[in-house]
Structure 1
């Protein structure tokens, strides 16, 4: 579990503002589930999704997501992982491959998290941010993710990564504005 508890360049919970928020969120929690719920709801509800709100700058590091209060799903998952790891809760990164239009190609990755809950095991949570048609919740052991898999080439990728996928980092670090990212969303080829 060590790699799911460690700080890194993008999951930088050693940044003072990230650590301070983690301590604040954990202070009122009386259980592991309450701690995870408070971090999840903070990122889901208080950090605005860059595309939904048409916000810049493009963020990638957890500390930048917190500083600017915005990020794409990938960046929001970096902040949630950082907040959980800072509180000693193992957290990783997960991805779905989804249709951009909901009707087939083109496809893109969607970023979310997996957290290791003592009473459940690995449990996926999606702090992308709710809006009409999207209602992600924290109801372990039942998952309530933002997007269901609905078309033949969409997938829940089964891996739990300790670090962001290079294609995600490349996209977030290559473009300066939310609309440039939106026009170049990361994707991977499926192995069949």
Structure 2
């Protein structure tokens, strides 16, 4: 899929309340993980694999509290897909690698075409050496999900099934969609009986 870059490159390096890439813990973690790396590709891969493998997906581990600010995700060690994408973007930006946000609409139950469609969050990363944007999904692997770092063929957590009404949004945003921030910050804890219905169903900012 051809990605649509909607802002200037500097916007994908910016710090904000949610993507607090200047937070000392963010900077320290990024530098410690990448200190032996020679290229930005190596750095991006290591940071992606750290968030994918070492930061738990809240639903997989049944953490009740919601995390959304990048530094909080790092400190608490868990978050859902959106929160993990916030952390990965902050880590990358802290070492001057541009990173943005991408979204998919997915069926909650792929075996039930009448199940609700919800938003799923992942990242796009710019690699200057290759002059290339790639998408990365740090959601976290488990049975049936295998996302990897790849420069050639995307290997995301959830391949789109258009026959189910699923959709890849092509846009790369510099900030998380407002619907995502609202979802993560409006209550302190998840209601496990309603967890999927608490997620946004689509973008609130759709160019």
Which TM-score band applies after superposition, normalised by the shorter structure? over 0.9
Give 1:158's aligned residue: 170
Matches within 5 A, 1:165-180: 165-178=177-190, 179=192
Say if 1:107 and 1:2 are closer, same or farther in 2 by CA, change over 3 A: same
Which runs of at least 4 in structure 1 moved beyond 6 Å after TM superposition? none
Give 1:35's aligned residue: 43
SS at match of 1:41: helix
Counterpart check, 1:16 vs 2:24? yes
Specify which of 120, 123, 142 is matched with residue 153 of structure 2: 142
Distance 2:145 2:97 in 1: 26
Matches within 5 A, 1:4-153: 4-102=12-110, 103-104=112-113, 105-118=115-128, 119=130, 121-150=132-161, 151-153=163-165
Conserved? CA contact 1:120–1:141, under 8 Å: no
Q: How far apart are residue 56 of structure 1 and its match?
A: 3.0
Conserved? CA contact 1:65–1:76, under 8 Å: yes
Q: Which moved more, 1:182-191 or 1:158-167?
A: 182-191
Gaps of 5+ in 1: none
* TM norm structure 1: 0.94
- Could you report, residue by residue, the CA deviation over 1:61-106 in whole angstroms, capped at 9, with x for unpaired residues? 0001001000000000000000001111110000000001113330
Conserved? CA contact 1:172–1:181, under 8 Å: no
Give 2:4's aligned residue: none
Distance 1:141 1:61 in 2: 31
Q: Count matched residues.
A: 191
Say if 1:43 and 1:121 are closer, same or farther in 2 by CA, change over 3 A: same
Q: How far apart are residue 142 of structure 1 and its match?
A: 1.5
Q: How far apart are residue 181 of structure 1 and its match?
A: 4.2
Q: How far apart are residue 189 of structure 1 and its match?
A: 7.2
Distance 1:152 1:58 in 2: 29
SS at match of 1:143: coil
* TM norm structure 2: 0.88
Q: Which moved more, 1:23-32 or 1:180-189?
A: 180-189
Gaps of 5+ in 2: 1-8
